[in-house]
Structure 1
Amino acid sequence: MDDISRDIGISKKTLYQHFTDKDDIVYQVIQYRMEQNREHVSCRVADAHDPIEEILLAAETMRQYLAEMNPALLIDVQRHYPRAWEVCTEFKEKFLLESIRSNLKRGIEQGLYRAEIDIEIMARLRVELIRLAYDTDVFPRMLAGMTEIQIQLLHHFVRGILTEKGSIIYNQYVQQYQNDPASSPQ
């Protein structure tokens, strides 16, 4: 707490008025960031025209959020701050998985995603692909940038679940974003 109060330029007394200890600081920061991310993703995808655009917009929002975060932070939180890690796990289980399941279900209903996919398996696969991109044992930083890895994994995932109708729409989005990078969810 000495280092924290010195680094942010406030007294320890002031710091202790707001936080009980370092664990509490980490917990509240993680909780705030996860809620902020949930709101940002929800707002961004609200204007999507279809499940394909929704998954592209959600992926871009998550990519922006995670790009600001040092991958080592999540490892440290998992190892040393179980209460804060529980917030991360809850975000994954309750928000990410539910959002992806809902997207997959709507995509199937609209004939954009293949009807034979197993929604639960594909939802969990997508979450793990997001996590996998941050694993430096699998993707060393010198291999490719984080954004490029995320984009490649997303495209591979989406193309694997699309119907012919969905492929046409998806390719239109890809083409649109290549022609106008400012509007890109990539």
Structure 2
Amino acid sequence: MKTKILEKATKMFLNLGFKSVTMDDLANEMGISKKTIYAHFQNKTELVEACTMHVFQLISHGIDYICSLRKNPIEELYEIKKFALQHLNNERSSPQYQLQKYYPGIYETVKGKQFEVMTTCVLENVRKGIDLGIYRENLNIDFVSRIYFSGVTSIKDHRIFPTDQFPVTSLMDDYLEYHLRGIVTPKGRKILNELINSNQE
């Protein structure tokens, strides 16, 4: 039952927002009593934390799997972006913003974990790209990995990028292209252009 509550709550939080969903809403949706929920989670904050870590683990494992496929580094970043968006329901309810506003402690914890996973992933991605001659040799790898994380985090701020003006999927595509065009060699640019063109067909 705990797993079912966790999965349903995660889906509702991502679709409707951490603030919007109450324990009553969750109980009604599942056809159970609030008492049943509280038998597994002491309060809403504990449930939000469990759901947040659940999503983090899912995405982290998915990223690890994609990296293990040893794809072309440019293609790898697009695959990771697509996978993350699928598991965040395209972030329709601005979950990161709501988490930051209403559960700042949980937000900071998960952001720290995201930083570790993402910078490690991008460091490895950049190294592979340099070895293959599709990323520039003179890159400061640590800088690139951190500025990438910083950018990915910033574009999720709906005060800066309102969703009615910047739909999430196209915003992520624009950011990824912006990132890659700054680090590719002519050889890498050719691969990137081919990938972008194939995605538009």
Query: Normalised by the size of structure 1, how large is the TM-score?
Result: 0.82
Q: What corresponds to 2:55 in structure 1? A: 33
Structure 1 distance, partners of 2:48, 2:199, is 37
Identify which of 121, 131, 139 aligns with 1:99: 121
**Unaligned 5+ residue runs, structure 2?**
1-22
**Unaligned 5+ residue runs, structure 1?**
180-186
- What letter corresponds to residue 19 of structure 1 in structure 2? F
After the TM superposition, which of the residue ranges 25-34 and 3-12 deviates more from structure 2?
3-12
Q: Quickly say closer, same or farther: Cα 1:29–1:93, change in 2 above 3 A.
A: same
1:121 aligns with 2:143: yes
Contact 2:55 2:87 in 1 (8 A): no
- What letter corresponds to residue 173 of structure 1 in structure 2? L
- What letter corresponds to residue 162 of structure 1 in structure 2? V
Q: What corresponds to 1:183 in structure 2? A: none
Contact 1:112 1:163 in 2 (8 A): yes
Contact 2:122 2:145 in 1 (8 A): yes
Contact 1:5 1:11 in 2 (8 A): yes
Q: What corresponds to 1:156 in structure 2? A: 178
Structure 2 distance, partners of 1:3, 1:66, is 20
Structure 1 distance, partners of 2:70, 2:76, is 5
1:78 aligns with 2:100: yes
> Number of matched residues?
179
Q: What corresponds to 2:38 in structure 1? A: 16
Q: What corresponds to 1:47 in structure 2? A: 69
After the TM superposition, which of the residue ranges 148-157 and 127-136 deviates more from structure 2?
127-136
Q: What corresponds to 2:80 in structure 1? A: 58
After the TM superposition, which of the residue ranges 161-170 and 83-92 deviates more from structure 2?
83-92
1:138 aligns with 2:160: yes
Deviation at 1:28, TM superposition (A): 0.6
Structure 2 distance, partners of 1:153, 1:94, is 20
Structure 2 distance, partners of 1:66, 1:7, is 20
Contact 1:101 1:119 in 2 (8 A): yes
What is the DSSP-based 3-state SS (H/G/I as helix, E as strand, rest coil) of the residue aligned with 1:76? helix
- What letter corresponds to residue 59 of structure 1 in structure 2? K
Structure 2 distance, partners of 1:40, 1:132, is 22
Contact 1:105 1:119 in 2 (8 A): yes
CA offset digits 1:4-54 (Å, max 9, x no partner): 434432223311221121111001111111111112233334335321111
Q: CA RMSD in A?
A: 2.3
Contact 2:90 2:169 in 1 (8 A): no
- What letter corresponds to residue 18 of structure 1 in structure 2? H
Q: What corresponds to 1:5 in structure 2? A: 27
Q: What corresponds to 2:9 in structure 1? A: none
After the TM superposition, which of the residue ranges 159-168 and 74-83 deviates more from structure 2?
74-83
